[in-house]
Amino acid sequence: MKITRFNSIHKKLNAKLVEFAGFEMPIQYKGGIIHEHNVVREKVGVFDVSHMGEFEVRGADALPFLQYLTLNDVSKLSEGHIQYSAMCFEDGGIVDDFLVYHMGDYYMLVVNGANIDKDWEWVNKIAKKFDVQLKDTSDEYNLLAVQGPESLKTIQKLTDTNLSEIESYHFKIGKVAGIETIISRTGYTGELGFELYFKGNEADAEKVWNELFKAGEEFGIEPAGLGARDTLRMEKGYCLYGNDIDETTNPIEAGLGWITKFNKGEFVASEVLAKIKADKPSRNLVGILTNVERFIPRHGYKIFSGEKEIGVVTSGNISPSLNKPIAIGYVAAEFKAPGTDIEIEARGKKFPATVTKMPFLA
């Protein structure tokens, strides 16, 4: 397994470490998932997400290349802006969802850690038709996600960059704890938060971490693991690649039609996706509330309407904020309406549930 430059810190904090995306990553710390979840919702939590991948795209055809590669309209970006997007195989299956950063004279793609090798192979295949230069800088960056209502006050102590001027899906380059950093505001929790991308060795990484925790001490700052990251994103209805979306799902059925810009011109799978949109997908990704307190829906559980199998759960857990089980899953299109009663099968039994709008937490 690979390790991030924060690995020794995680071990000193007695984090529960697991293999994730080829890295040894913290799933939780001593407080546990629910505690860390609530810290992020109420105070400020810090996630090590250095397993994420970063690709640089340069060259005369950088923009037309990205227009063809991605679903969203990259021409709408200007320097300092960030765009949520995805890319598909020719059959419409999703390769990955990711962020596009307009860095001025180049673009940076931030991709899911588990997909780095697959994504790198795919973007290089598409790039053969364009005058672009690609560079995988994934191993160069350290990445911390500082999330929660007190995140701005915490980081502001360590930088001269005015964080209140950074709007959602924008970034600035400044120094944090004396180290040059891309300070971006996207987030995967639904809370106020920032991502800190910076290069450097283990000493640099530990310096930023330690300074953050000194600055955030008065606000109740704590480390948070991937377990809380998952419950936080589920409450906001955010997709997780490998669970809710993958190469067997398309962006129209997954509710990502809003980032699929057909009016920008041809892109990979544009004709296939246009037909799916016109014909309407046969299934849709929906939110699900279960009506049994002690039942937790899990990935892979089958969904029924009476005796008819109509779909599958893709993500499920207890929502710490709502104190009830929630799930995300695909159901046949005729059952997608909020309020529709369904059942989820587990261990040979069926448990009542209801289709609901996402996000679960406003």
pLDDT score of 54: 98
Q: What is the pLDDT of residues 266-294, one digit of tens each?
A: 999 999 999 999 999 999 999 999 989 88
Helix ranges (H only) for the chain are 7-12, 33-42, 62-69, 116-127, 151-156, 202-215, 226-235, 270-279
- CB–CB of 303/314 below 8 Å? no
Q: Summarize pLDDT for 300-357 with one digit per residue, the tens.
A: 999 999 999 999 999 999 999 999 999 999 999 999 999 999 999 999 999 999 999 9
pLDDT digits (tens, 9 = 90+) for 174-218: 999 999 999 999 999 999 999 999 999 999 999 999 999 999 999
Q: What is the pLDDT of residue 28?
A: 98
Q: How far apart are CA 312 and CA 330, in angstroms?
A: 6
| 215-268 pLDDT per residue, tens | 999 999 999 999 999 999 999 999 999 999 999 999 999 999 999 999 999 999
70/137 Cα distance (integer angstroms): 20
Chain centroid, CA 311 distance in Å: 23
Tens digit of each residue's pLDDT (9 = 90 or more) over 16-55:
999 999 999 999 999 999 999 999 999 999 999 999 999 9
Residue 340's alpha-carbon distances to 280, 293, 319, 334, in angstroms, are 19, 19, 21, 10
* Nearby residues of 170 by Cβ (< 8 Å), 6 or more positions away: 80, 81, 82, 184, 185
Collapse the DSSP code of 56 into the 3-class scheme (helix H, G, I; strand E, B; otherwise coil) and give the result: strand
Q: Please name which of 205, 204, 181, 185 lies closest in space to residue 193, comparing C-alpha atoms.
A: 185
Domains and CATH numbers, the chain: 7-52+139-234 (3.30.1360.120), 53-136 (3.30.70.1400), 282-362 (2.40.30.110)
Instruction: Check if the beta carbon of residue 328 is closer than 8 Å to that of residue 313.
Output: yes
Half-sphere exposure of 299 (CA within 13 A, CB side): 11
How far lies 355's CA from each of 213, 290, 294, in Å?
Answer: 41, 9, 18
Q: Using DSSP, how many helices (H) and how many strands (E) does the chain show?
A: 8, 19
- Relative to beta strand 133-136, strand 141-147 is unpaired
CA–centroid distance for 38 within its chain: 19
Is-contact 327 344, C-beta < 8 A? Answer: yes
φ, ψ of residue 247 in degrees (nearest 5): -70, -15
The whole-number pLDDT of residue 360 equals 97
Give strand pairing partners of 199. Answer: 141
Whole-angstrom CA distances from 53 to 37, 65, 303 are 24, 19, 34
Beta strand pairing call for 45-48 and 222-223: parallel
pLDDT per residue as tens digits for the range 96-152: 999 999 999 999 999 999 999 999 999 999 999 999 999 999 999 999 999 999 999
Cα separation, 146 vs 208, in Å, equals 12
* Rounded CA separation 294/303 (Å): 18
64 by Cβ neighbours in 10 Å (0-12 / 13-18 / 19+) ranks as: middle
- Under the banding of pLDDT at 50, 70 and 90, the label for residue 65 is very high
